[in-house]
Amino acid sequence: MKKLALAAMIMAALLLTACGTQEPDSLEARVQEQFGAVVERAAETIERVRRDELSHVTQPFDPADAFTGEMDVDAQELEYLEAVGDYIVEGMPEGLSAYDQYKYLGFVLSYCADYDYELHEDTLNETPYGALIEGRAICLGYTNTMLWLCEKAGLRCSAISGYASWNGEEHGWDLAYLEEGSYYMDITWCDQRGEPGSSGWNSCFMVTEAVLSEDHGIWTGGPATGTVDYR
């Protein structure tokens, strides 16, 4: 699998902690231990493909769009999740264009999560905790996590609900706001089409209304007002 090496590093750190051979002495140490490699990898990837010629103007996150779903984990784990989110945002390279700020967050999400095809009694795969901490997400999990990360980064983002045209099933994605207009980001499909930084991954990132309508059905939200083909 494309995340095998990264997952092995994270699992090794988890096992060391669980076995008592390495005990992080703070919340920050735990975050660094388990997410340092992810953030570093995402930062290195965005540095290779960064678009410095694009606008650095951003729109602030609208509190009305905030993720409000419940996550069935204890308060300590919620505190850890918040620290992970802060660490991801703090690890964003300086001076990125607005476009690349969104893309960096998408890269982190792709490196952390795989699409969850299993059936579970819980709904954590619809949440930031499931995507980032447990590494499992369905489309709603990717959508909500991107929304949650954008809020932490101060980037305007909205959740979109619709359908996938190829099978008619419910699907979700996000709307990002650049200076020249808004664009759709379907990180679920980005993640399934290629590695971060590849043309396949980029094929569903910052796409126009016309491009999205080629393979997505009727949706609630939008429209995307941007007209630039960033693919």
CA distance 42 to 196: 8
Q: Where are the domains of the chain?
A: 4-64+75-212
Asked whether 65 and 159 are in contact (CB, 8 A), the reply is: yes
- Residue 69's CB is within 10 A of a number of other CB atoms, namely 14
Tens of pLDDT, residue by residue, the chain (231 residues): 555 445 444 444 443 333 333 444 699 999 999 999 999 999 999 999 999 999 999 999 999 999 999 999 999 999 999 999 999 999 999 999 999 999 999 999 999 999 999 989 899 999 999 999 999 999 999 999 999 999 999 999 999 999 987 777 889 999 999 999 999 999 999 999 999 999 999 999 999 999 999 999 889 999 999 999 999
Q: Tell me what pLDDT residue 18 has.
A: 36
DSSP notation for 159-224 = EEEEEBTTT--EEEEEEEEETTEEEEE-HHHHHHH--TTSHHHHTTEEE-HHHHTTTB---BS---
Fold classification of 4-64+75-212 is C8orf32 fold (3.10.620)
- Residue 12's CB is within 10 A of a number of other CB atoms, namely 11
